[in-house]
Structure 1
Amino acid sequence: MQVVSISSLKGGVGKTSVTTGLASAALAAGIPTLVVDLDPHADASTALGVRPGEHLDIGRMLKAPRRARLADNVVPSGWVERANGKAPGGQSAATLDVAVGSAYTGIYDRPDLGRRDLRRLSAVLAGAEKYELVLIDCPPSLNGLTRMAWSASDKVILVAEPGLFSVAGTERTLRAIQLFRGEFAPNLSPAGIIANRVRSGSAEHTFRLAEMQSMFGELLLAPHIPEQANWQQIQGAAHSIHHWPGESARNAAALFDSLLANLLAAEGRQPAGAVRDHGRR
């Protein structure tokens, strides 16, 4: 089982879109996957078509992690029925479950969590043996919830737009991972950086992508994800990108297939060289 945190210091870069895109690729590939919606806004849960109902949300599982009974409280994604319906003979082993998000997790999003609190999610995920992949959608901060996710993870994927502030935030987050790794999680490694919402006709984006390649080397994953005009519509309809009609969606699905393969093959990537100044031209 691989546990991967999807993180960003800066909000609005499409972190949840990347999480659900990777989940869609995993579902299409038949990889048993769990998405943990650790963001108090719970946008990933909405996009995955789930509601907690009678089940405990992830915030309440974190409150009593050793009694959480993860297997009894995860909810199948609303995407699974569509995936199974497209399988030959109507049969599929597709598994995409969700530990549903809620505002309740916000009580842990503090900068002063101790070691015991940082281990809460690890204790919950002790019941996740049936999954090959666990994706954790983190809030856009470096407070308690993100650090709790990193404590439970093998790898961290960073999401960044090719813009000045996002690139600078990515550099700071990489440094935070190294510090956190030294103190709390020696086996944690950065799996890479996904450049998201890339506009091919933008001179600024072209410049920043080149800057990111120079700064981060092989940590900058390929392919990059272009800006998707209908992404909010897809998420609002609680569909996977692999089951949305149209050439644009098919192209985006293929990109996430490639990124997932790259992620699963990643082994502790490190920046290629020194980080240079972020100043504008």
Structure 2
Amino acid sequence: MQVVSISSLKGGVGKTSVTLGLASAALAAGIPTLVVDLDPHADATTGLGVKPADRIDIGRLLGNARRGDLPGNVAPSGWVASARQHNRSTSGAKTVLDVAVGSAYSGIYDRPDLGRRDLRRLSTLLSRVEGYGLVLIDCPPSLNGLTRMAWTASNRVLLVAEPALFSVAGTERTMRAIELFKREFAPNLSTAGIVANRVRPNSNEHTFRLAEMRQMFGDLLLSPIITDQENWQQIQGAAHSVHHWPGELARQTSGYFDELLRNVVDSGRLRSRVARRA
């Protein structure tokens, strides 16, 4: 099971949008996926069309990590029904996309002074999870306790940045923070790369900052860049998978996230591992 944290020091760069795009690509690829909504705003939970009902949210599960039943409290994404309807006319593949429900309650852990024991809370919960090939953790836009808790539980960290001055500077600081965190807490953690999001190709400022990012980060800047799509807000507002939204723009965006998923994780290896388990 690969565990990937989607992180950003700066808010408003589309971190949750990238999480949702990768979840949509994983669903389309038939990779059983769990999304952990660790951001107290719980936007990923909303965007994934989740109706939590009687599920215990991730914040309260973290509060009793030693006994918390994460597998028994995940909620299915509302996207799954449309994916199954689509697959009946194609591969008929089983589709799994579950969500560890977010809530404001998790914010009690988003402070800078968490000790090693607290940093292990999410790892403890995930140690009881089975049957997924991929776990995506949507982190809050900070480097406080929740993000470091996610990094402790992860194999890799994917950074999201806009091609803008403050976002690029924040990404550079986050890279340094990851290196320091690895030395003290998570020696096996690696950086999956940096995705440039909400890029406007006709913007001179974005063109300049993209060139700056390539110079600063080299091969860590992933392909493809995610361009700013005019219908993205509509898709998210409908709590819908981009892979099952009609229109050429949605197909183009789906292609971006299919390629990004391949560059972030070995999706072919995930599918073969899941097939062997079945």
- TM-score bin, normalised by smaller chain: over 0.9
Alignment of 1:1-281 (within 5 A): 1-88=1-88, 91-265=92-266
d(CA) in 2 for partners of 1:129, 1:263: 21
Residue 67 of structure 1, CA deviation: 1.5
Match for 1:29: what amino acid?
A: A
Compare 65-74 and 28-37 and name the one that shifted more: 65-74
Match for 1:18: what amino acid?
A: V
Segments of structure 2 that go 5 or more residues without pairing to the other structure are 268-278
- Alpha-carbon displacement from aligned partner over 1:246-270 (angstroms, at most 9, x marks no partner): 100100000100000011149xxxx
CA RMSD of superposed structures (Å): 1.2
CA contact (8 A) 1:51 1:100 kept: no
d(CA) in 2 for partners of 1:237, 1:56: 24
CA contact (8 A) 1:65 1:121 kept: yes
TM-score w.r.t. length of structure 2 = 0.94
- Alpha-carbon displacement from aligned partner over 1:162-197 (angstroms, at most 9, x marks no partner): 011100000000000000000000000110000000
CA contact (8 A) 1:157 1:194 kept: yes
Residue 100 of structure 1, CA deviation: 0.5
Aligned length: 266
d(CA) in 1 for partners of 2:76, 2:115: 32
Residue 69 of structure 1, CA deviation: 1.5
Match for 1:188: what amino acid?
A: L
Q: Percent identity?
A: 72
Secondary structure, aligned partner of 2:60: helix
Secondary structure, aligned partner of 1:67: coil
CA contact (8 A) 1:4 1:134 kept: yes
CA contact (8 A) 1:25 1:242 kept: yes
Secondary structure, aligned partner of 2:66: helix
1:276 maps to none
Compare 122-131 and 254-263 and name the one that shifted more: 122-131
Segments of structure 1 that go 5 or more residues without pairing to the other structure are 267-281
Match for 1:87: what amino acid?
A: N
d(CA) in 2 for partners of 1:236, 1:265: 30
- Alpha-carbon displacement from aligned partner over 1:227-261 (angstroms, at most 9, x marks no partner): 01121211111101001111001000001000000
d(CA) in 2 for partners of 1:117, 1:66: 11
